[in-house]
Structures are given as structure tokens and as C-alpha cells.
Amino acid sequence: MALLQISEPGKSQDPHNKKFYVGIDLGTTNSLVALIQNGAPNILKDKNNNELFPSVVNYSKASVTVGKPLDIEDQISFSSIKRLIGKGINDIDKDEFYSPCKYHGDDNILKFEVFDKLVTPIEISSEILRHLKNITESTLDGNIEGCVITVPAYFDDAQRQATKDAAKLCGLNTLRLLNEPTAAAIAYGLDNKEVSKVMVYDLGGGTFDVSILSLDNGVFKVLATGGDSALGGDDFDTLLADYIQNKLKIDLDIKKKYELFMYAKEIKEILTDNESVNINLDKIGIKDKELIISRVDFEKITDRLVKRTLEISEGVLSDSNLSTQDLDEIILVGGSTRMPNIKNFVKIFFNKEPLSNINPDNVVAVGASIQANIMSGNSSEELLLLDVIPLSLGIETMGELVEVIIPRNSTIPTSSSKEYTTFKDGQSAMSIHVVQGERDIVSDCRSLAKFTVNDIPPMLAGAARVRLEFQIDANGILSINATETTTGKVTSVEVKPSYGITDSDIEKMLKDSIDNAEEDIKNRHLKEAAVEGNRVILAIKSALDIDGSELLSEEEQNEISHAIENLEKKLKGSNKDNIINAIKSLENVCETYVERRMNSNIQKIMKGTDIKEYN
Amino acid sequence: MAITITDNAADRVKTFLTNRGKGVGLRVGVKTTGCSGMAYVIEFADEIDKSDTVFEEKGIKIIVDPKCLLYLDGTELDFTKEGLNEGFKFINPNEKARCGCGESFSV
């Protein structure tokens, strides 16, 4: 008979209709699936007892497989596709990126020429997710009803949207995307504890990430992130392999070198539990080459890599304006943190015993599965876990200034709206430019989307109103509605974030906003003065067109046009005070004109009307 | 009338209850559904109703609704491994027929 698992009270599932909610750690090197069974998180194993599934997608003419490349010809394999998801062609460092085939693309997305079709990183990631879905559903004999997928904390809107698209493409319902460090903190149950500042030290196979989280009333905020996308366990293996090669004075071809590298990985893992290991290169077909390596040797060889991770961690800590004493917990994530000296160094450096009792390969998936279980309603726990947006969202206003609509670190889901008005008389359309970033000037922020609100009824400047509503869902994905308030017409707006930004860009954007705060304020004042100057010129010119010659002498008209010219000249410069002064002198010159306009308008209105009506 | 539990199953239930951090015992029962009439229910129990029958077996409280007990009398609860899967199994002498997949049964 079918074997049963214990359910939560009242949540027993009907036969033949089993539904599962899983957490997916979609990793750069490996991916995992976890789910809550019998009240506790379990990592899913396939029929060969594997639980780490390589994030490698292999295309051949006939089929697509996920996992180790098959030993066949005419095969194109993609690994580390996570580095490319949500990126455009200009986001790629061509020196560092090796593509297995021809590729092209635009600012938003890459396209690989795989045999006779074009494949995007979203589709490639989707193959990995499809593979995980198939393993899960065949092992558990049921359907995945919903999943929580983890993403790095520094992933921007485009990368998150692309990850969600990849899930959608293979028919997975994403309940939400969860930040990897947040998932690790959930796995350790920190969301229910009295902690406020947590450092997550994540050393994987090929990447190193550090995040500082702050926890406040069940809300995780990412205070700072940092890392090195080219530092991981593989670098430890390379150093060890080089050491062995030098020590034994052997020449190796590329194939043998790779074998030695794989052997070095094995040695590294043995040294986690043993003080020393006898190396015999017989194993890779080289005779009479033997060596004993102790853990101490290994630690000496790789010392600089460990030091580098600590330097980065310290930098991130100072970015978040914290010191080591402020940290309540440190969590170790990633298989490479099994190396005993990592734990020791972290402990000594931060003077705190790091949390490491959950398998560091699994901890992110475990956290995601706990979150998936809560969101599915299967758990009796009532926890509302929130995330925050990493960068502010706003729109461009006149003068290329940014007006923030949803500030950075707002908890999501959230929505916020603002009303905007027209700048010119009779303006019938409004162009909306959505940007992301912390700077005051549009060109210093990242452009997310542009769209136009059409069919605004012709009205005086400032009379027409467009209401913009920003909504961010639980995944940090943005949608915008623009309503023209006089007609009530809603412009159907689909915001497709322009794909592509690197994590270092995000960091840089945050840092720049602090470094340039003073300059930004100056710039803002200058731009504001310029907008005001242009507005005044526009208003006076349109008034002059109507009744200038009627109400003013030629001399007076000349005086005004001189003042306008002066202001126009000052607007081209970059001195805020000069502009403001020019505006003032223009307004002074126009004073009599404004009075006369007022009088003549009143006369026009009052003409032929009994004075008594005005009492 | 009684329901029993094997050592192996009792150990597992204890572990799961400890991991879960709360719960007074294990609720078993049946519900009418599935392709052959009925399906077994096995859940953590957070409370015991007045009308419930409770069997204390090997340190585990097995909680059953009296109506369900009619279908389950004499059942032994086991925990086994079959191929990849491991889980609980009801060995129920009242069972007359079972659907092909073994997920539901009739008495």
C-alpha cells in the first residue's frame, strides 16, 4: 500500500490529489528542493540518492538534459546560467564570460544560438526548474502546487522577474521569491528569536556572498550585501592542485590537470575530517608520485582566500554602519564553509560562534521550504514574513529630477500613489519614466520603464491630473497604473523592467548616493531653479502673445524681453543663484505688466455689470 | 477495541513530534474519499476532544474518533521503507478491498 506521512491537524490530503509546496534553492552550481514532511524540512532525494542537482543544462539536437553533460558529440552545455539571468548584452564582461556557442542580444536579454533555435537564459534556467519539478513529482507521486524560489539578495527587479518567468515557463507557481540570506535565517528559526542583526557568510562552489540582515518585528531588511562572484570552493581546489603539481614537479596536459583538480577537491573534503592525507597520483594515472598533505599545509596554501573573505565581510559590515559587537548571529552557508579553518577564522574574527549545525549546502532550501509551507497554509504557524525593496523606485519629473514614489527598504507587498499635473497649456500626453536608484538626477539612476499617458483633455497647465499608482507584489515585482482623473481613463500600462544590472552596480548605486549626497542636493536645487525659470518664461511669453502689445509700451516690451534673454542666458549656466536672481529681476520688470493685466481682466469682467452685484 | 503501533513507528512519531515542538499525540482516522471508498488519515494532534478515544501505546498517545475506530479496530500502525519512500502503513484486518494504487480501501 501507499505509505503515508503525518499531516498537520485537518490538512490530510485526498488520495490521488496530493499537492506539495516546496522550497527551491536555484543555485549557480547546484540546485536543491526541500519540503516539509512529517512536520520537519526534508531535502528531496532522487532515485540515485542525490540531493544536489548540478545546475548544468545540456542541449543536443534531439534532446535537453539537466545534470552532468552526457558523453556524446554535438552537445552544447550551459553552466552557471544564474550569472546571466535577467542581464543584457552590455552587462556581460566579455573577457570573463565563456559561451559554449554563438550568442547575441540587446540591452534586455541574451540569446544563444543552440543548433537551429535561439535560447535565452530564462529558458535555460527554466530547464533546470523543470528537471527539479519532474524529480519532485515522480518521487512524491503528486503535484507541486506552489514553490518558493530563493534568489541572491542583490538580485534586482529584472533578475527577479526573469527568475519568476523561468518558473512560469515550466509550469511552476511561484508563491514568492525569497532572498537567500533571509532563507538561511529562517532555517535557523531566527525570525522567531530575539535577534536583530545577522550576518550571512555564504561561500559556495564558485561565488562568495555576504549579507547583513536586520530583523525588526518579523521584517527582514537587507542592510548591505557584498561578495566576490569569482571566489569559491573551486579556487581552494585550484590552489591545492597547483601546490601538488609544483611540489611533485610534474608536467600535466589539460586533461590531466583537470583530473588533478578533481582529485584536489576530494583531498580538500577528506581534510575536513582528517588531520592529514596520503596523496598518490596513481589514482590519476601518474606513477610513483606520492605526498603527504596535512590540514595545516592546506590551510597555509589557502590562507589568502580565507583572509579575502574576511576582508570582504568586514567591508560589508562597515557599509551597514555596524561593528562586530552589533552582530547577534553569524550564519555559515555553502558547502565550502565545511572547511574547519573557515569556521575558526570567522569565530576569531567576529568573536562569535557561527551557526553551522544545519548542513550548509541545504540551509537555504530548508528556509525556502519552511516559507513555502507557511504560505501554503499547511503550517499552524502564523508568520507574516516580509521583505523589503533594495532600491527606491520613482519617476522622472521636469528637469530630469527623480521623485521617489516608493522609498528603499519599504516592506513589500506595498503600493503608493501620487498625482502629477501638466506643465504646458493644452498638454495632451504625459511621458512617464520609471527609475530605480537613490540619486536625485535621472541619469544617475537606472531606467526601468518608459510609457506614455495619452488622451489628456486639453486644459491649462496644472489643471489636468494623472494619478500614478505603484504596486509591488510579494516578489518585488512592479506594476504601474496611470489614471487620468478628469476622465477617469486608466492607461493600461505594462511595465517590463529593462533586464540587466550587476550586483556590483547595485552596490555602487547605493554607495554613490551617499558619496554624492551633497552634489545631488546642489544639482537638485539647480534643476529646480531651471524648471522654475523655464516655467516663468513660458508663462510670460504666452501672456505677451495675448495682450503684450495692447498693455505695454514698446520700451516696456523691450525691457521685458531683455530680462527674458538674461534669464535664458543664465539658464544655460550652472549657477543656481544667478538663475534665481534672473527670475526675480524678470518678475520685477513684469510687475507693472502683471498689475495692468489684472486690472484689464477685471475691467473686462465687470464691464456692464452693476457695481452693487459686487457688494 | 484497540489500535497498536510498532516500535519503529513509535520511534518515528516521537522524533517527528519532538521536531515539531508541540502536539499531544497522533490522530488517526479514516475519511470517505478516493477510488475505493475510504482513505486513512494520519495527523499530528494538538488537542484531544472529549469524544475521542485515546490509546496510550509505547509512550505515544494515539487519538481516534470513535466512529473511525469502527473501521480501524485491530489496526497496527507501522513505519516502513519501500524503495525510495518511507512512511506509515496501516495494517488493518477490517480491510476488504483496496484500489490499485493502494491509497484508498473499503471494508
What local confidence, expressed as pLDDT, does residue A430 receive? 83
List the 42-81 stretch of A: residues with Cβ below 8 A of B. Answer: 45, 47
Q: Is B11 exposed, middle or buried (0-12, 13-18, 19+ CB in 10 A)?
A: middle
Separation in Å, CA of A45 to nearest CA in chain B = 8
Confidence of residue A496 (pLDDT cuts 50, 70, 90): very low
A11-25, A120-134, A184-198, range with greatest mean pLDDT: A120-134
8 A C-beta contact, residue A395 and residue A446? no
- According to the CATH classification, is domain A518-606 in 1.20.1270.10? yes
Separation in Å, CA of B83 to nearest CA in chain A = 9
Instruction: Give the total residue count for chain A.
Output: 615
The per-residue pLDDT of chain B, averaged, comes to 82
Separation in Å, CA of B1 to nearest CA in chain A = 23
Mutate to test the interface with A, among B6, B13, B22, B43 (most CBs of A within 10 A): B43
Q: Which residue has the cell 535555460?
A: A124
Confidence of residue A281 (pLDDT cuts 50, 70, 90): confident
Confidence of residue A500 (pLDDT cuts 50, 70, 90): very low
DSSP A286: -
What local confidence, expressed as pLDDT, does residue A409 receive? 66
Cα separation of A170 and A81, whole Å?
16
In this structure, which amino acid lies at residue A436?
Q
Confidence of residue A474 (pLDDT cuts 50, 70, 90): low
Please check the confidence at residue A129 and state whether its pLDDT lies above 80.
Answer: yes
Say how many domains are in chain B. Answer: 1
Average pLDDT (A544-562) is 84
Beta strands in A271-350 (DSSP E): 276-280, 290-294, 329-333
Q: Is the ipTM value over 0.85, yes or no?
A: no
Host H or E run for residue A535: helix A517-551
What local confidence, expressed as pLDDT, does residue B102 receive? 61
Please check the confidence at residue B35 and state whether its pLDDT lies above 70.
Answer: no
Say which CATH architecture domain A18-188+358-383 belongs to: 2-Layer Sandwich (3.30)
What local confidence, expressed as pLDDT, does residue A124 receive? 94
Residue B29 covered by a domain: yes
List the 137-196 stretch of A: residues with Cβ below 8 A of B. Answer: 139
Residue B66 covered by a domain: yes
DSSP A282: G
A483: three-class secondary structure by DSSP: strand
Where exactly does CATH 3.30.420.40 map onto chain A?
A: 18-188+358-383, 193-356
DSSP-assigned beta bridge partners for residue A53: A31
Active-site residue identified among A180, A209, A319, A438: A180
Q: H helices within A170-251, ranges in order?
A: 180-187, 233-248
Residues of B in contact with A39 (CB under 8 A): 16-17, 19-20, 23, 44
Angle at A321 between CA A315 and CA A324, to 5 degrees: 70
Say whether B33 and A14 touch across the interface (CB within 8 A): yes
C-alpha closest to that of A187 among A53, A333, A299, A314: A333
Region of poorest pLDDT, from A177-186, A297-306, A487-496: A487-496
Confidence of residue A284 (pLDDT cuts 50, 70, 90): confident
- How many other C-beta atoms are found inside a 10 Å radius of the C-beta of residue A380? 16
Between A410 and A327, whose confidence is greater? A327
Say whether A3 and B34 touch across the interface (CB within 8 A): no
Answer yes or no: A137 catalytic: no
Angle of helix A576-606 relative to helix A517-551, nearest 10 degrees, comes to 30
Please check the confidence at residue A499 and state whether its pLDDT lies above 50.
Answer: no
Q: Is A347 exposed, middle or buried (0-12, 13-18, 19+ CB in 10 A)?
A: middle
Average pLDDT (A108-116) is 86
Helix (DSSP H) and strand (DSSP E) numbers for chain B = 2, 9
Average pLDDT (A441-458) is 79
Cα separation of A210 and A355, whole Å?
15
With a pLDDT cut of 90, the percent of chain A lying above it is: 28
What local confidence, expressed as pLDDT, does residue A501 receive? 46
Please check the confidence at residue A1 and state whether its pLDDT lies above 90.
Answer: no
8 A C-beta contact, residue A86 and residue A155? yes
Angle at A384 between CA A379 and CA A389, to 5 degrees: 135
What local confidence, expressed as pLDDT, does residue A511 receive? 66
What local confidence, expressed as pLDDT, does residue A163 receive? 93
Please check the confidence at residue A299 and state whether its pLDDT lies above 90.
Answer: yes
**Is some CB atom of chain B closer than 8 A to the CB atom of A40?**
yes
Cα A360 to chain center, whole Å?
23
Confidence of residue A498 (pLDDT cuts 50, 70, 90): very low
Answer yes or no: A82 catalytic: yes
C-alpha closest to that of A342 among A186, A182, A264, A235: A235
Residues of A in contact with B85 (CB under 8 A): 3, 139
Mutate to test the interface with A, among B26, B38, B44, B68 (most CBs of A within 10 A): B44
What local confidence, expressed as pLDDT, does residue A492 receive? 59
CB neighbour list of residue A80: distance below 8 Å, 6 or more residues apart: A28, A29, A55, A206
DSSP A556: H
C-alpha closest to that of A198 among A183, A211, A189: A211
List the 245-284 stretch of A: residues with Cβ below 8 A of B. Answer: none
Region of poorest pLDDT, from A19-23, A329-333, A394-398: A394-398
**Is some CB atom of chain B closer than 8 A to the CB atom of A5?**
yes
C-alpha closest to that of A379 among A16, A40, A33, A5: A40
Cα separation of A90 and A93, whole Å?
8
Please check the confidence at residue B56 and state whether its pLDDT lies above 70.
Answer: yes
Residue B104 covered by a domain: no
What local confidence, expressed as pLDDT, does residue A607 receive? 73
What local confidence, expressed as pLDDT, does residue A387 receive? 62
Pick the CATH number of A389-515 from 3.30.70.20, 3.40.630.30, 3.40.50.300, 2.60.34.10: 2.60.34.10
Residue B105 covered by a domain: no
DSSP A448: E
In this structure, which amino acid lies at residue A49?
N
**Is some CB atom of chain A closer than 8 A to the CB atom of B1?**
no
DSSP A284: G
Q: Which three cell numbers stand for residue A14?
A: 485526498
Average pLDDT (A453-481) is 79
Domain coverage including residue B27:
4-95
What local confidence, expressed as pLDDT, does residue A517 receive? 67
- According to the CATH classification, is domain A193-356 in 3.30.420.40? yes
Mutate to test the interface with A, among B18, B22, B103, B106 (most CBs of A within 10 A): B103
Please check the confidence at residue A508 and state whether its pLDDT lies above 70.
Answer: no
DSSP character string of A558-594: HHHHHHHHHHHHHHHS--HHHHHHHHHHHHHHHHHHH
What local confidence, expressed as pLDDT, does residue A307 receive? 93
The per-residue pLDDT of chain A, averaged, comes to 83
What local confidence, expressed as pLDDT, does residue A5 receive? 82
Between A340 and A498, whose confidence is greater? A340
What local confidence, expressed as pLDDT, does residue A97 receive? 66
Please check the confidence at residue A180 and state whether its pLDDT lies above 60.
Answer: yes
Confidence of residue A25 (pLDDT cuts 50, 70, 90): very high
Average pLDDT (A267-277) is 92
CB pairs under 8 A between A and B: 83
Angle of helix A233-248 relative to helix A254-273, nearest 10 degrees, comes to 110
With a pLDDT cut of 70, the percent of chain A lying above it is: 88
In this structure, which amino acid lies at residue A3?
L
What local confidence, expressed as pLDDT, does residue A609 receive? 67
Residue B18: CATH number of its domain: 2.60.300.12
Host H or E run for residue A86: none
DSSP character string of A4-57: B-PBPTT-PPPTT--EEEEEEEE-SSEEEEEEEETTEEEE---TTS---EE--E
Please check the confidence at residue A34 and state whether its pLDDT lies above 90.
Answer: yes
**CA atoms A247, A248, A251, A252: torsion sign:** negative
Residues of A in contact with B90 (CB under 8 A): 1, 4
DSSP A499: P
Residue B102 covered by a domain: no
What local confidence, expressed as pLDDT, does residue A535 receive? 84
Angle of helix A554-572 relative to helix A576-606, nearest 10 degrees, comes to 140
Please check the confidence at residue B83 and state whether its pLDDT lies above 60.
Answer: yes
